[in-house]
A and B are shown apart, each in its own frame.
Chain A
Amino acid sequence: MDNIFGQYGVLLDVNLSTKEIKKTPIPKEDLKNYLGGRGLGMKILWDRVKEPGMDPYSPENPLMFMPGPFSGLPIPSSSRTTIITKSTRTSPKNKKYPHSSTISYANMGGFFGPEVKFAGYDGIVVTGKASSPVYLLIEDDKVEIKSARAYWGMGTDMFDKALIEKFGKGYQSCYIGPGGENVIPYASVLNTAARAAGRGGVGAVMGSKNLKAIVVKGTQQPKLAQHKKYLELLAKARQAFRDDKEGVEYWRSGGTAHALESSSDNGTMAVKNYREGTFKEIEKINTKAARTQIWKRDFACFSCRLACKKSGFAKGAYGGVIHDGPEYETGTMVGANLLISDLEGLNKIIAICDDYGIDIITTGGVLGFLMEARERGLIDLDFLDGIDLKWGAIDASIDMIHKIVRQDGVGKLAGLGVKALAEHIGNGSEEFAIHVKGHELAAWNVNTRAERMMITYGTANRGACHLNSSSPTRQNHNAMQDSLGACSFAGAWYKGDISYRHFIEAITGVEHTDEEFAMIGERIFNLEKLFNYREGFERVDDQLPERFFKDAHTYGKGEGILATHQDFDNWIEAYYKERGWDLKTSKPSPEKIAELGLNFTV
Chain B
Amino acid sequence: MTHKESSRRDFLKKLAIGGGGVVLLGKYNFLFGNQPKNGILKAIIVDFDKCTGCRTCETACSAFHHQIEIEGEMLNGLGNPKLANIQVYHYNPDVDIPSICANCPDTPCVNACPVTPDPITGHKAIFRDELTQSIRTNHSVCISCGSCSRACESERTGVIKMNSISNHPEHICDHCGGNPQCVMNCPYDALSFREVDVDGTYFGLSPEEIAEKLFERYYAGEEVVNG
Contacts and interface: CB of A to CB of B under 8 A. Distances in A.
Interface string B94-106: 1110000000000
B82 A296 contact: no
Nearest to B81: A118
A62 B89 CA distance: 33
B219 A322 contact: yes
Interface stretch (A297-305, A533-541, A581-589): A297-305
A228 B63 CA distance: 13
A227 interface: yes
A299 B94 contact: yes
B54 A238 contact: no
B55 A302 contact: yes
Interface residues of B, number: 34
B80 A221 contact: yes
Contacts of A377: none
A161 interface: yes
B96 A231 contact: no
A499 interface: no
From A73, A192, A307, residue with most partner B Cβ within 10 Å: A307
B89 to A, nearest CB: 5
Given A118-B80, A219-B82, A322-B93, A307 B54 contact: yes
A552 interface: no
A231 B76 contact: yes
Contacts of A242: 187
B112 to A, nearest CB: 23
B187 A297 contact: no
B176 interface: no
Interface in A164-182: 164, 168-170
Nearest to A156: B92
Contacts of A305: 54, 187
Contacts, number: 91
A549 B185 CA distance: 52
Contact of A221 (B54, B73, B78): B78
Nearest to B207: A169
Contact of A227 (B75, B91, B219): B75
Given A74-B59, A219-B82, A311 B93 contact: yes
A596 to B, nearest CB: 32
A193 interface: yes
Contacts of B218: 296-297, 311, 313
Contacts of A296: 218-219
Contact of A322 (B79, B89, B94): B94
A241 interface: yes
Nearest to A242: B187
B94 A169 contact: no
Interface in B56-86: 56, 59-60, 63, 68, 70, 73, 75-76, 78-82
Given A74-B56, A227-B75, A313 B219 contact: yes
Nearest to A224: B78
B53 interface: yes
Given A169-B87, A238-B185, A305-B187, A227 B53 contact: no
B34 to A, nearest CB: 29
A299 B93 CA distance: 12
B52 A299 contact: yes
Interface string A42-85: 00000000000000000000000000000011101000000000
Contacts of A231: 75-76
B188 interface: yes
B66 to A, nearest CB: 10
Nearest to B214: A297
A556 to B, nearest CB: 35
A359 interface: no
A309 B87 CA distance: 21
Interface in A553-571: none
A157 interface: yes
B90 interface: yes
Given A170-B82, A322-B219, A303 B54 contact: yes
Contact of B54 (A164, A194, A304, A322): A304
A193 B95 CA distance: 13
Contacts of B75: 227-228, 231
Interface string A219-231: 1110010011001
Contacts of B221: 313, 315
A124 to B, nearest CB: 20
B92 A193 contact: yes
Given A299-B52, A303-B55, A219 B80 contact: yes
A160 interface: yes
Nearest to B54: A300
A232 to B, nearest CB: 10
Contact of B53 (A221, A248, A299): A299
A301 B54 contact: yes
A311 B218 CA distance: 10
Given A224-B78, A303-B56, A307-B188, A169 B89 contact: yes
Contacts of A224: 78
A73 B207 CA distance: 25
Interface in B184-227: 185, 187-188, 207, 218-219, 221
A241 B79 CA distance: 19
B55 A164 contact: no
Contact of A73 (B54, B78, B92, B95): B78
A158 to B, nearest CB: 9
B52 A298 contact: yes
B92 A160 contact: yes
A233 B75 CA distance: 14
Contact of A311 (B59, B94, B187): B94
Interface string A490-529: 0000000000000000000000000000000000000000
25 contacts: A74-B59, A74-B60, A76-B187, A111-B55, A118-B82, A157-B92, A161-B92, A164-B91, A169-B207, A170-B82, A192-B92, A192-B94, A227-B75, A228-B75, A231-B75, A248-B187, A296-B218, A296-B219, A299-B52, A302-B54, A303-B56, A307-B52, A307-B54, A311-B218, A313-B218
Given A194-B94, A296-B219, A311-B93, 17 more contacts: A74-B79, A164-B91, A220-B80, A221-B78, A224-B78, A227-B70, A227-B75, A228-B75, A231-B75, A231-B76, A297-B95, A298-B52, A303-B54, A304-B52, A304-B54, A305-B54, A313-B221
Interface of B: 52-56, 59-60, 63, 68, 70, 73, 75-76, 78-82, 87, 89-96, 185, 187-188, 207, 218-219, 221
In the complex, the 6 A-B pairs of residues with the closest C-beta atoms, listed nearest first = A300-B54, A74-B59, A311-B94, A300-B52, A307-B52, A322-B93
